């Protein structure tokens, strides 16, 4: 029973990291209908920002989180203005272009920092035990922080003026434009916001994972799967999706091993997509 | 317009003739350089290790050239990047041999890349100098293996760990050939010297989530966590191991000075590493080498067993070229390798004539709280390879 509880808690931690990576994907893919294959590299930019802030500049990790958001958001804004905007309505071209950008970003970072992994210290050392179960403090911090980010994102999009504009543009672009919404600016800011969330995921993962130019790949796969399973435009769905992916990897990994867990999780996802191609919690589209 | 292109072509032909003419005349002896291929990935997932291998080989060949080359002739390197893709490694090797006409190739890192290049060098009667440590169990008359193999590393390490740390082992690795072979060998070594395996786990290649593995380790309560994890997985494992506050000692076959910088001293302290070379070996050749590396290579990498593999590969090839009857004939170069000895920063090491693997020292290092590796064990003499 103890070990089951440990697995659940661990799963919650993996779910939290997957969720924050996927949130950015939901904003970009769900609201803007852009499949961004450079999402993993935006996460990498966040992780490298955390590295620069904490190790190069010697500042606290608390500053690294907003800095990572800002750096990735800036990169996202540039990306949107230079590339994505010019390929509106061409999904295949957008995918190719963003894939190209992901390679460019990887190799640029490789040239600047080298291919080796970089060191980011764990900001919260230590752990506590519940019976046999060990829980690192940093895991608890991750879970709480991600919950706050999720709440913040939902409030931001549902309650603020900018959020309403974003939703207006997604639901009916021409009508929103008629009513005086600058849709181009909204697109840029939405993309930047989604990218910023990706950067945040990178900074959160940096202390306990590896920071390297090629770290983005697995995150891209997981955030894509999570948002597809949950229903690409639904935050609630993405939360459930990330719990499903994170918990099932942790439980199956704990009961069998990580290689088998990997296979089973993907099989489960394929089954879900087969029977609910719109995702578990798809919104009705008008 | 057509006339312009014609004249441009004529000019360039004339120019290149002139340059070529000058080039060969200036050599004095009129001998052309010896061409050697370097086949490494500076992009893709294995580029972390391969950048270090590349730095090592490049340093060795530059040194040979500065010291007068091969009996007066320079070594000219032709570099090919195979982007961590074994299939491309085979293509690039073929190109190096057939188009660039190199006499030998130094390179490849993963066993899958080497196994892809093996048939190419064999069918073209060429030579590959393989610089990385690997799982053994291979021999080829067209490959010289310079890195350490299990009987020079794992066998000694397991024995030492059982005597000095504890008998209960937990084996982990990424799920591909090298860790599976290493862990299987570790089990046979443990069966011989009274140790036991309390758990064995593999994670998908590149996986960075160790929560379930760490809980299994905690439940099975081992003395030693014996790892051959590589790349991003290796870094993430150490960091999460320290966050979970486990007691067992980590013993690694793959961690080196460059990786250690990413792991950080807090997570790596008190852990053990076993390879053939560490930056902190005390001898004058090594001290000179470490100083030179810091001065010439400024890419964030540290002198490590990977750098040393590449460096030794370059030095051995240089010696073989000097000794060969005709250094332009690959077969003569291959024949020259048997029994070859060099004074390297890792000690006086040689190539075994019967299996073309290197006789190397085995060293065990312990990481201190500043993140430095201190050598705490060194074999009395070089250990002969038994692939």
Longest alpha-carbon distance in chain A: 62
Contact check, Cβ <8 Å, B266/A7: no
Chain B 132-161, CB below 8 Å of chain A: which residues? none
Q: Does A283 touch chain B (CB under 8 A)?
A: no
Candidates B207, B243, B258: best to mutate against A (most CBs of A within 10 A) is B243
pLDDT of res. A32: 82
| CA gap B87, B115 in Å, rounded | 10
B67: contact with A, CB 8 A cutoff:
no
- Report the half-sphere exposure of B168 (CA within 13 A, side-chain side): 11
- The reply to whether B334 falls in a domain is yes
**From first to last of its 387 residues, what are the pLDDT tens digits of chain B?**
455 555 555 545 544 444 444 444 344 445 789 999 999 998 877 888 899 999 999 999 999 999 999 988 999 999 999 988 999 999 999 999 999 999 999 999 988 899 999 999 999 999 999 999 999 889 999 999 999 999 999 999 999 999 999 999 999 999 888 899 999 999 999 999 989 999 999 998 888 888 888 888 988 899 999 999 988 899 999 999 988 888 899 999 999 998 898 898 989 999 999 999 999 999 999 999 999 999 999 888 899 999 999 999 999 999 999 999 999 999 999 999 988 999 999 999 999 999 999 999 999 999 999 999 999 999 999 999 998
Distance from CA of A200 to the nearest CA of B (A): 18
Please count the other Cβ atoms lying within 10 Å of the Cβ belonging to residue A158.
11
* Same domain flag for B172 and B84: no
Q: Is B306 on the interface with A (CB under 8 A)?
A: no
CB–CB contact A249 B208 (8 Å): no
Helix (H, G, I), strand (E, B) or coil at B38: strand
Please indicate, yes or no, whether residues B123 and B163 belong to a single structural domain of this protein.
no
Dihedral-angle region of residue A201 (phi above 0 means left; psi in -120 to 50 means alpha; beta otherwise): alpha
Instruction: Find chain A residues with C-beta within 8 A of B51's C-beta.
Output: 114-116
Q: Among A114, A125, A214, whose Cβ lies nearest the Cβ of B301?
A: A114
Q: What is the pLDDT of residue A34?
A: 86
Residue B350: give its domain's CATH number: 3.40.50.2300
- CA A54 to chain B, closest CA, distance in angstroms equals 13
Domain membership flag for residue B29: no
Per residue of chain A (286 residues), what is the pLDDT tens digit?
566 777 788 788 888 888 988 888 888 887 888 889 999 999 999 999 999 999 888 899 999 999 999 999 999 999 999 999 898 888 889 999 999 999 999 999 988 988 888 999 888 888 877 766 778 888 889 999 999 999 999 999 889 988 888 888 888 888 888 888 888 888 899 999 999 999 999 999 999 888 999 889 888 988 888 888 887 677 888 888 888 888 888 888 888 888 888 888 888 888 888 888 887 776 655 4
**Residue A244, min C-alpha distance to chain B (Å):** 16
In a domain, B48, yes or no: yes
Q: Which of A127, A258, A259 sits opposite B245 (nearest CB)?
A: A127
Question: Closest to B212 (Cβ–Cβ): which among A133, A134, A258?
Answer: A258
This prediction has a pTM of: 0.84
B263–A116 C-beta distance less than 8 A: no
CB atoms within 10 A of CB B119: 13
Give B 160-179 residues with CB within 8 A of chain A.
175
- The answer to whether the beta carbons of residues A80 and A103 sit under 8 Å apart is no
Question: Does residue B179 sit in the same domain as residue B271?
Answer: yes
Q: Do B182 and B114 have their domain in common?
A: no
Judged by CB atoms closer than 8 Å, whether chains meet at B208 and A218 is answered as: yes
Q: Is B116 on the interface with A (CB under 8 A)?
A: no
- B28 within a domain of the structure (yes/no): no
Across the interface, whether the CB atoms of B262 and A117 are under 8 A apart is answered yes
Show me where the domains of chain A are located: 19-214
Long-range contacts made by residues A167-171, C-beta under 8 angstroms, separation at least 24?
A: A167/A31, A170/A31, A170/A32, A170/A233, A171/A286
The ipTM, to two decimals, is 0.83
* Interface contact A110-B47, CB threshold 8 A: yes
CA of B113 vs chain A CAs: smallest distance (Å): 19
Quote the minimal CA–CA distance from B109 to chain A in Å.
15
A117: closest chain B residue by CA: B262
Please tell me if residue A218 touches chain B, with a CB cutoff of 8 Å. Answer: yes
Taking the C-alpha atoms of residue B273 and residue B150, their distance in angstroms, rounded to an integer, is 14
Phi then psi for A120, rounded to 5 degrees? -125, 125
Kindly determine whether residue A122 and residue B242, on different chains, have CB atoms separated by under 8 Å.
Answer: yes
CA A34 to each of CA A40, A212, A215, B45, B386: distance values in angstroms, whole numbers, following the listed order = 14, 26, 22, 27, 56
Instruction: Note whether B208 contacts A: Cβ–Cβ < 8 A.
Output: yes
**Residue A17: closest C-alpha in chain B:** B209
Candidate from B175, B231, B240 with C-beta closest to A259: B175
B206 part of contact set with chain A, CB < 8 Å: yes
pLDDT in tens, A162-202: 888 888 888 888 888 888 888 888 889 999 999 999 999 99
Tell me if B207 and A121 make a contact (CB, 8 A cut-off).
no
How many Cβ atoms are within 10 Å of A274's Cβ, its own excluded? 8
Domain count, chain B: 2
* Tokens matching residue B315: 């030095």
Contacts of B371 in chain A (CB under 8 A): none
Domain co-membership, B301 together with B225: no
Which range marks the domain in which residue B187 is found?
151-276+365-378
Pairwise CB contact (< 8 Å): B236 & A136: no
pLDDT, position B25: 38
pLDDT for res B4: 54
Cβ atoms < 10 Å from Cβ of A12: 22
Residue of chain B whose Cα is closest to the Cα of A119: B262
Stated as kind and residue range, the H or E segment containing A127 is strand A127-130
* Eight-state DSSP code of residue B328: T
Query: Which residues does chain A have within 8 Å of residue B232's beta carbon, measured at their own beta carbons?
Result: 117, 209-210, 212, 214-215
Cβ–Cβ contact B236 with A under 8 A = yes
**Selected residues 92-111 of chain B with any CB under 8 Å from a CB in chain A:** none
B24 domain-assigned: no
**Could you give the CA distance from residue A232 to residue A226 in angstroms, rounded to a whole number?**
9
Question: Distance between CA atoms of B234 and B258, rounded to whole angstroms?
Answer: 12
Chain A residues within an 8 Å CB radius of B203: 258-259
Cβ contact, residue pair B218, A261, below 8 Å: no
What is the pLDDT, as a whole number, of residue A98?
A: 93
- Order the strands of the B249-252 sheet from edge to edge: B196-203, B168-174, B224-227, B249-252, B272-275, B363-367, B373-378
Q: Give the gap in angstroms from C-alpha B228 to the nearest C-alpha of chain A.
A: 16
Query: Nearest CA to B158 among B76, B241, B272?
Result: B272
What is the nearest CA distance from B199 to chain A, expressed in angstroms? 11
């Amino acid at each position: 029973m103890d070990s089951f509880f440990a697995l659940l808690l661990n799963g919650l931690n993996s779910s939290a990291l997957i969720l924050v990576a996927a949130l950015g994907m939901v904003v970009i893919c769900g609201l803007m209908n852009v499949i961004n294959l450079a999402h993993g590299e935006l996460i990498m930019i966040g992780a490298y920002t955390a590295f620069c802030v904490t190790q190069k500049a010697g500042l606290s990790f608390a500053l690294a989180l907003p800095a990572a958001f800002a750096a990735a958001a800036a990169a996202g804004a540039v990306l949107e203005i230079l590339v994505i905007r010019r390929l509106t309505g061409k999904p295949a071209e957008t995918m190719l272009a963003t894939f190209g950008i992901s390679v460019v970003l990887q190799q640029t970072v490789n040239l600047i920092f080298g291919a080796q992994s970089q060191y980011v210290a764990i900001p919260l050392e230590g752990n506590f035990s519940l019976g046999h179960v060990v829980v690192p403090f940093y895991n608890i911090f991750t879970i709480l922080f991600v919950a706050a980010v999720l709440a913040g994102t939902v409030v931001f999009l549902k309650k603020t003026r900018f959020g309403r504009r974003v939703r207006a543009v997604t639901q009916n672009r021409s009508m929103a434009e008629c009513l005086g919404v600058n849709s181009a600016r909204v697109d840029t800011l939405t993309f930047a916001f989604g990218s910023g969330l990706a950067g945040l995921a990178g900074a959160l993962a940096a202390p306990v994972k590896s920071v390297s130019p090629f770290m983005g790949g697995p995150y891209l796969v997981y955030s894509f799967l999570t948002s597809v399973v949950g229903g690409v435009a639904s935050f609630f769905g993405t939360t459930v999706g990330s719990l499903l992916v994170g918990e099932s990897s942790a439980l199956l990994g704990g009961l069998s091993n990580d290689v088998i867990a990997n296979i089973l999780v993907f099989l489960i996802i394929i089954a879900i997509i087969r029977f609910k191609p719109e995702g578990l919690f798809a919104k009705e589209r008008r | 317009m057509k006339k312009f292109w014609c004249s441009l072509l004529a000019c360039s032909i004339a120019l290149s003739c002139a340059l070529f003419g000058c080039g060969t005349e200036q050599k004095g002896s009129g001998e052309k350089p010896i061409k050697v291929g370097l086949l490494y990935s500076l992009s893709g997932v294995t580029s972390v290790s391969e950048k270090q291998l590349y730095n090592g080989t490049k340093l060795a060949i530059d040194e040979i050239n500065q010291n007068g080359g091969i009996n007066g002739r320079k070594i000219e390197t032709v570099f090919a990047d195979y982007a961590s893709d074994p299939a491309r490694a085979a293509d690039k090797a073929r190109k190096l041999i057939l188009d660039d006409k190199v006499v030998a190739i130094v390179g490849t890192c993963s066993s899958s890349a080497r196994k892809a290049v093996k048939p190419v060098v064999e069918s073209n009667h060429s030579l590959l100098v393989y610089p990385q440590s690997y799982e053994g169990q291979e021999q080829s008359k067209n490959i010289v293996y310079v890195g350490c193999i299990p009987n020079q590393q794992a066998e000694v390490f397991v024995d030492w760990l059982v005597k000095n740390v504890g008998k209960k082992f937990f084996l982990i690795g990424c799920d591909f050939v090298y860790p599976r072979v290493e862990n299987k060998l570790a089990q046979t070594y443990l069966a011989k010297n009274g140790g036991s395996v309390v758990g064995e786990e593999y994670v998908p290649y590149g996986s960075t989530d160790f929560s379930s593995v760490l809980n299994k380790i905690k439940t099975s309560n081992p003395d030693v966590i014996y790892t051959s994890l590589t790349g991003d997985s290796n870094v993430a494992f150490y960091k999460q191991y320290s966050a979970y506050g486990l007691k067992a000692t980590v013993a690694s076959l793959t961690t080196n000075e460059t990786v250690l910088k990413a792991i950080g001293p807090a997570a790596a302290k008190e852990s053990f590493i076993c390879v053939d070379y560490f930056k902190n070996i005390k001898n004058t050749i090594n001290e000179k080498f470490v100083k030179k590396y810091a001065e010439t290579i400024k890419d964030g990498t540290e002198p490590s067993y990977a750098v040393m593999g590449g460096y030794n590969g370059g030095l051995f090839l240089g010696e073989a070229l000097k000794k060969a009857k005709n250094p332009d004939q690959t077969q003569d170069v291959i024949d020259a390798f048997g029994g070859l000895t060099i004074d390297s920063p890792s000690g006086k090491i040689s190539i075994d004539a019967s299996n073309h693997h290197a006789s190397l020292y085995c060293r065990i290092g312990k990481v201190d709280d500043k993140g430095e590796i201190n050598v705490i064990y060194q074999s009395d003499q070089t250990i002969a390879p038994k692939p």
